[in-house]
Amino acid sequence: MSSLLDQVPSDVLLRLVSLTLLLAGTNETAIARADDSKNPRGSFNLTLEHDGLTRKYLLYVPASYDGKSKVPLLFNFHGFGGKVAGYLRATDMRPLADEENFLLVYPQGSPLNGFSHWNAATPSRENKSDADDIGFVKKMIASISADYKVDPKRIYACGYSNGAFFSYYLGCCLSERIAAIGSVSGTMLEESYEKGKPSRRVPMINLHGTADNVVPYDGKNGLTPIPKVLSFWALQNETRTQPAATNFKSGRTKVRRLVYSDAKGTAWIEHYRVKGGGHVWFDLDLEGSDANRLIWNFLSGHDLDGLRRKR
């Protein structure tokens, strides 16, 4: 089985590793555990055994969680080479989880040649290893749901770079569990693009920079161009082929939003095209919303049954 080292040119891989290690940080930080109470809140470093591996993840239980009502569950997957502690610092959704009352999970990818990764395709030449990441996600859902009141219709996934690749894959092969997906600086591998068949409509939000030289906007070396990704999900979600476009500015950065809706006016896809944006988790301010807020507002507007609320 080939690895990512075989699939991506060395110059692109070097940029990818450098950027994700920057997000990961050089030192693991200690994360405080909540006290032992009936409904403990705070950050928990947890492990579980799956498929012969000890898998790790950080679970954040918001201060607003009361243990009485079912709440949403959001996974946020790091990029290639990333570590949870550094990725958490770079993309921290905990304040948003406190405000919106959802359980937040930052899983750790399994090691591959010294770098953590996610398998973002069905077993094929595009898989980086034999690690069963889909099974890992299923087991996390089961474990967390056993300890906390999770709304099974409101489980969401988002990610950055390789983690975004994996979120797309989850949308394709675990659509009966994952209500909606989000991607930042990521795309679909050819395997998922060509063979992905979600069992239901899966809402999708995507943020991508036009100057991304790791996962190029227009595609490269088996990385699906973003316009094709949008077309894939437009077809799956039975939306109009022509999106509604709105232009924004975040400081001096120009951002174009494309919204793909169905005949009833339900928005199933949102795409933010960041002019000149690189391979990053974007630092944006669009009418008071940052990237975290944009992602959550879109995802949380849907559940497994479809639209929960109009935006």
* Pairwise CA distance, residues 301 & 310, whole Å: 7
Q: What is the pLDDT of residues 198-237, one digit of tens each?
A: 999 999 999 999 999 999 999 998 899 999 999 999 999 9
* Whole-number Å distance between alpha carbons of 113 and 177: 31
What predicted TM-score, i.e. pTM, was given to this entire model? 0.88
Whether the per-residue pLDDT at 36 is higher than 70: the answer is no
Residue 214 Cα distances to 15, 69, 83, 263, 299, angstroms: 7, 42, 19, 36, 26
Q: What is the mean pLDDT of the chain?
A: 88
Q: pLDDT digits over 253-292, tens only? A: 999 999 999 999 999 999 999 999 999 999 999 999 999 9
Cβ distance 207 to 272 under 8 Å?
Answer: yes
Helices (DSSP H) in 118-257: which residue ranges? 133-147, 162-173, 190-195, 226-236
Q: How far apart are CA 221 and CA 213, in angstroms?
A: 12
pLDDT of residue 18: 41
Measure the CA–CA gap between 273 and 258, rounded to whole angstroms.
Answer: 8
- Distances in Å between the alpha carbon of 259 and those of 41, 84, 172, 178? 36, 31, 20, 21
Model pLDDT, residue 7: 40
- Note whether 50 and 139 are within 8 A (CB): yes
What is the sign, positive or negative, of the torsion defined by CA atoms of 280, 293, 63, 171?
negative
pLDDT of residue 127: 61
Residue 230: CB atoms within 10 A of its CB come to: 21
- Asked: is 4-302 a CATH 3.30.379.10 domain? The reply is no
256-275 core/surface letters (b: 16 or more CB in 10 A; e: else): ebbbbbbeeebbbbbbbbbe
More confident residue, 27 or 178: 178
Does 27 have pLDDT greater than 80?
A: no
| Residue 218 burial (C-beta neighbours within 10 Å; 0-12, 13-18, 19+) | exposed
Please report, rounded to a whole number, the percentage of residues in the chain having pLDDT higher than 90: 77
Chain segment 4-18, per-residue pLDDT in tens: 434 444 444 445 544
pLDDT at position 25: 42
* Residues 251-263: tens digit of each pLDDT: 999 999 999 999 9
Helix (H/G/I), strand (E/B), else coil: 102: coil
What's the CA gap between 25 and 86, in Å, rounded?
A: 5
Which pLDDT band, with edges at 50, 70 and 90, does 35 fall under?
very low
* pLDDT at residue 29 tops 70: no
- Domain boundaries along the sequence of the chain: 4-302
- Could you tell me the strand order of the sheet in which 204-209 lies? 42-50, 53-61, 103-107, 71-77, 150-160, 180-184, 204-209, 267-274, 253-261, 244-250
What pLDDT, on the 0 to 100 scale, is given for residue 206? 98
What is the mean pLDDT of the segment spanning 70-97? Answer: 98
